[in-house]
Amino acid sequence: MPRHYTLTISCPDRAGIIAAVTGFIAQHGGFIVEASYHTELEEQRFFMRQEIRTDSLPFEADEFCRRFAPLADEFSMDWQLADSAQNKRLVILVSRQDHCLDDLLHRWRTNELRVDIPCVISNHEDLRSFVEWHGIPFIHVDMQDKAAAFEKIAALFDEYQGDTMVLARFMQILPPALCRRYSGRIINIHHSFLPSFVGAKPYHQAYLRGVKLIGATCHYVTDELDAGPIIEQDTVRIDHGDTVDDLVRYGRDIEKTVLARGLRYHVEDRVLVCGNKTIVFK
């Protein structure tokens, strides 16, 4: 796909927003290749996503932002402009289970997921050789002193200029201060169909409850455990003959596909947060 800017907007709903934004783009010769709109009626808030071919504009991103700012102020917009030529930088956190990490690295290696992965951080050494085989730095962080460990993780995330922290089955609970510091920038895959079965061992909880569907949830991390805005979910049907081990095995397949889909929506700037909900322009 040709290089493009992605303009995302959230603002109080009122007449004239679409006309003003598209008029601004057209005034400068901009060619819109994809456009999405949504209004949350209860909050009376409007959401917009526009993809604009960069070669149709007479200026670069900085000048676009400078000229667009007065219009954004007029409509009280929360907005950002992303350049498709600049890959998002994902810092991946993982423990011992490798199925989500393996899937993400395969998608990255085959250029299916257009991101940069400057490092992988783990609280175990198990996956070092696998990660380093991909030419990616592997950093072990000992979790014995959790406060110091999370301070180190935050420092590494900043040092490697991470845009998004991905918890690819990282089996540790992040402290509230870290969640708030990187609000909207930490993505987790939880192995249940939230809000059911939060916390540890959700497949065991599901088995004991006798449910007929299990699932996985990709969501933003907040300081409330497994309760952040949901980006993507999926389920698989089970029956009385399935064991806990069967549920875990089915779940691995769902987890990696749900994480990959949710992460793709995020890095393509298709996710806008509205309170504890998301608007996902697929």
Kindly give the confidence (pLDDT) of every residue in the chain, 282 residues in length, as a single tens digit, with 9 standing for 90 and above: 789 999 999 999 999 999 999 999 999 999 999 999 999 999 999 999 999 999 999 999 999 999 999 999 999 999 999 999 999 999 999 999 999 999 999 999 999 999 999 999 999 999 999 999 999 999 999 999 999 999 999 999 999 999 999 999 999 999 999 999 999 999 999 988 888 888 778 888 898 899 999 999 999 999 998 899 999 999 999 999 999 999 999 999 999 999 999 999 999 999 999 999 999 999
The angle formed by the CA atoms of residues 155, 158 and 162, to the nearest 5 degrees, is 130
Strand partners, 23: none
Contacts 24+ apart (CB under 8 A), 153-160: 153/93, 153/121, 153/178, 154/178, 154/181, 154/182, 156/91, 156/119, 156/121, 157/91, 157/182, 160/89, 160/91, 160/118, 160/119
β-pair type (32-40, 45-53) = antiparallel
Phi, psi of 112 (to 5 degrees): -75, -35
Cα separation, 50 vs 37, whole angstroms: 9
Q: What is the reported pTM?
A: 0.94
Cβ-based neighbour number of residue 50 at 10 Å = 22
β-pair type (78-83, 4-12) = antiparallel
Q: Which residues are catalytic?
A: 226
